[in-house]
Amino acid sequence: MNVVIVGAGAVGLGVGSCLIRAGARATFVDRQETVEYLRRHGLRRTGIFGEVRIPPESFDAVQRADNVKTAGLDHILVCTKSFDSPAVARELHAAPLGRDTTCPIVLFQNGWGNFEVFAERFEPRRVFNARVITGFQRRAPGHVEVTVHADAIKIGSLAGADQSAVAELARCISEGGIPAEATATIERDLWAKMLYNCCLNPLGAVLGVNYGRLGESNATRAMMSQIAAEVFQAMRAAGHTTHWDDAESFLTDFYARMLPPTAAHESSMLQDLTAGRRTEIDALSGAVVALGERFGVPTPYNRAMRELVRFMETNRRERKTWGKEL
């Protein structure tokens, strides 16, 4: 298998390590600093699935998508932040990588709305989504740690494409150490993750706590109940479905089965805020707010989360700038 991985962040490195370990040829596309590090030091994966060390001669790393060889390419994996989707779709579409190939483009991204961005530039049945609820943290430019794992990576099509197109990709990821499978229910899976993330990520980021702390408090449970109810209302108004009939049945499963394995995890949104980076709030709470506005569904709790995180993003960036000036 021959794959290109756009974005060598935590998810890209984690998934890439599995594919390389399973014998795939992989090319990472990322910024100069990351590319140079990978070329010198290789890739290392640690954490709950054990340690894997991959020498630099076992894969390629380049800075631009138009530098990637297209011959024999099987899959393009997009592992960037959701807010980078427009720029990545535009770059891929302009490069031979996007123009001269017909292989599946698989989006390993958080939130809702990424598919639509890529479907504007590529044949929709070529674009697949992956739902990832495995926790990855990048410890160095070439070192990723797998911190938690709640369920297998699911890969499927929102456009009704045959899931057999990604079955081999899922098999290789599993063979490389992290369970993955192709699915015909990716819409339901993505909205299940939206529910999970909208309840936990913004609230944990604003309060500065891990997932488990949110589940221990009656106050935060009450807020998550309201957030989940709004997600269901907006989701249904837009014509989407998930694996539960209502917020109450989701929350029962959420507290009993989904939260405990990830209780010690701190969300990527909290990590981004702490580092003064932009978050993916607009693809999570912001996507719920946008659907609510479009279909006339009030979403005050998700709107509050969006605005609080946006404020914290701006405040942290300004404080970092002030610190440099002082």
Active site residues: 193
Sheet containing 105-107: which strands, arranged edge to edge?
60-62, 25-29, 2-6, 75-78, 105-107, 127-131, 153-156, 180-182
Sheet containing 43-47: which strands, arranged edge to edge?
52-54, 43-47, 143-149, 134-140
Distance CA 145, CA 31 (A): 20
Distance set, CA 198 to CA 82, 111, 168, 224, 302 (Å): 15, 9, 31, 8, 8
